[in-house]
Amino acid sequence: MKKLLAGIVVIFLCSAIFLLPYAFADLNQYRYFQRGKHYFSIGDYDKAIEDFTRAIELEHNFVFAYTERGLAWEMKGFHEKALADYDKALEINPEYEKAYKDRAMTWQAMGEYAKALDDYTRAIELNPEDSEAFYQIGCIYCKQKDNKDALKFLEMAFENGFDDFESIETNPVWEGVKDLSEFKELMQKYKESAALESDEML
């Protein structure tokens, strides 16, 4: 019996030693990823990219690391590198809504509005209540001076919970429609609705 127990212990220890590097690889993967997010949050995009890259080296299909690295590249103005990372993320997981939205933002920054609209539309297909995607589509139409569709998608954003009224009022994209009665009515209606909901929660 003692020999049997000793044999089991030896097998366990050998297995643990064999698996130890893989356990640390998993820990490193997430440690680099989390530290990369920290660097991103404080605006140190170079260090963020380094850590996201290390995470990807440890896990080649780490979809979140590709997407976050794409954002860091975008913040540095490297559109093509950002697109490459988003493309890779979507190759790994074609249902990853955030990657579509992030890629759409890069297309917007490049003035590729049709491609941005396609990606925001795909994001909404995956999440029909994505108020930010509706809002960004409204911004694109407004920039293209399509006021009808701009206000339509702005209202859809409101209907799905978008309530950052300050960003709308300070965003120069909406300057061309601020004097329209339809815009004023929309803003007033949903501001009042948001205020009412806030009062009900108190």
Region 62-83: mean pLDDT is 98
Q: Which range marks the domain in which residue 157 is found?
A: 129-202
More confident residue, 17 or 160: 160
The domain spanning residue 97 has which CATH number?
1.25.40.10
pLDDT at 10: 37
CA distance 142 to 144: 5
| Co-location of 76 and 137 in the same domain | no
Residue 135 tokens read as 């809002």
Provide, rounded to the nearest whole percent, the portion of the chain with pLDDT above 90: 80
pLDDT range class, residue 5, cuts 50, 70, 90: very low
Q: Which amino acid is at 13?
A: L
| Co-location of 141 and 196 in the same domain | yes
Does pLDDT of 53 surpass 60? Answer: yes
Region 7-27: mean pLDDT is 39
Is 200 inside any structural domain? yes
Contact (CB, 8 A) for 107 and 115: yes
pLDDT at 198: 65
Q: How many structural domains compose the chain?
A: 2
Is 37 inside any structural domain? yes
pLDDT at 101: 98
Is 120 inside any structural domain? no
pLDDT at 129: 96
